[in-house]
């Protein structure tokens, strides 16, 4: 069997898994509607086709509020990624810097998002900046950890060769250390991107004037009358996080083609 056919089979299995999940959703919703009143069943798990209908019906509102959430999350993600990259570069420059900064970087993540969000929102008193700060907060930690690991993975013999050739420190970083760190950087970004969206929504739940979190709260307030809107908001939030992950994955494939999983493989697989 060729590698191409294996890839097609793998994609087919993903499609089967997604289809099975959707059918399971419809089946559970059907069972709930058999044993409960329509309002009670819908409040627990509505039919998938009702959620999809709500996505279409409220597409304008969802797109507008989703853009607000995604925009703030993207700005915070970019800022957190830059901060994480700079911290990783500093920590890689000297062992004493890594030992000094590591406890602070790790301890900064001890506060849960749901506890920190109202504190940040209460201090800043600005919904947009609070969302950006929280998105940056959840972004920089995985960036630091994975980028630092990538910087340490550079081949010692390559660094020694560059030192023997008289290469400067910036040249060693540009030609050797940073390319080694790119896979780790992208791994951290793929983890952080969905978290940035989630943190922005958490801030919106605290009383922001707009965003997907506001739609969630308002739809919960109206109960079963807006259950479709609530689940449509959840689906859109998942979609935004998934798209962010896929975009970063495509950028990784384009910028780091030397990774083993991206190399073209010839021959046949048994």
Tens digits of residue pLDDT in 111-152: 888 888 888 888 888 889 999 999 999 999 999 999 999 988
Token code pair at residue 155: 């081949």
Model pLDDT, residue 1:
45
Higher pLDDT, 41 or 80: 80
Nearest residue to 73 via CA among 254, 167, 198, 187: 198
- Region 147-176: mean pLDDT is 82
Length of the chain as a residue count:
270
Model pLDDT, residue 84:
93
DSSP assignment letter at 176: I
User: Which residues, 6+ apart, have CB-to-CB distance to 161 below 8 Å?
Assistant: none
Looking at mean pLDDT, say which of 30-44, 149-163, 170-184, 191-205 comes out highest: 191-205
For residue 22, what pLDDT band results from cuts at 50, 70 and 90?
confident
pTM score, two decimals?
Answer: 0.84
Per-domain boundaries in the chain: 1-45, 46-262
What do you get for the CA distance between the two ends of the chain, in Å?
6
CATH class for the domain made up of 46-262: mainly alpha
Model pLDDT, residue 265:
56
Token code pair at residue 204: 């919106």
User: Which residues, 6+ apart, have CB-to-CB distance to 186 below 8 Å?
Assistant: 248, 249, 251, 252, 255, 256
Nearest residue to 182 via CA among 77, 73, 78, 81: 81
DSSP assignment letter at 2: B
Nearest residue to 249 via CA among 174, 193, 173: 193
- Looking at the DSSP assignment, which residues form a beta bridge with residue 2? 268
**Torsion-angle region of 36 (φ positive above 0: left; ψ -120 to 50: alpha; else: beta):** beta
Q: Rg of the chain over CA atoms, in angstroms? A: 23
């Amino acid at each position: 069997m060729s590698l191409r056919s294996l890839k097609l089979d793998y994609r087919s299995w993903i499609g089967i898994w997604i289809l099975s999940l959707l059918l399971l959703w419809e089946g559970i919703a059907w069972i709930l509607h058999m044993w409960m009143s329509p309002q009670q069943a819908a409040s627990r798990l509505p039919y998938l086709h009702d959620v999809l209908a709500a996505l279409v019906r409220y597409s304008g509102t969802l797109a507008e509020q989703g853009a607000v959430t995604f925009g703030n999350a993207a700005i915070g993600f970019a800022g957190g990624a830059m901060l994480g990259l700079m911290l990783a570069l500093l920590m890689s420059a000297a062992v004493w810097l890594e030992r000094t900064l590591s406890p602070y970087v790790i301890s900064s993540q001890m506060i849960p998002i749901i506890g920190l969000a109202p504190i940040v929102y209460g201090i800043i008193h600005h919904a947009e900046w609070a969302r950006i700060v929280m998105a940056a907060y959840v972004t920089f930690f995985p960036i630091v950890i994975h980028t630092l690991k990538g910087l340490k993975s550079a081949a010692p013999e390559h660094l020694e060769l560059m030192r023997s050739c008289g290469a400067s420190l910036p040249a060693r970083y540009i030609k050797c250390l940073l390319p080694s760190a790119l896979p780790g950087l992208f791994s951290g970004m793929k983890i952080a991107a969905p978290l940035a969206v989630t943190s922005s929504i958490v801030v919106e739940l605290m009383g922001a004037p707009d965003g997907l979190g506001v739609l969630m709260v308002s739809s919960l307030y109206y109960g079963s009358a807006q259950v479709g809107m609530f689940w449509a908001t959840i689906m859109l939030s998942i979609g935004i996080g998934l798209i962010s992950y896929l975009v970063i994955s495509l950028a990784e494939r384009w910028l780091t083609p030397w990774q083993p999983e991206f190399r073209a493989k010839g021959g046949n697989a048994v």
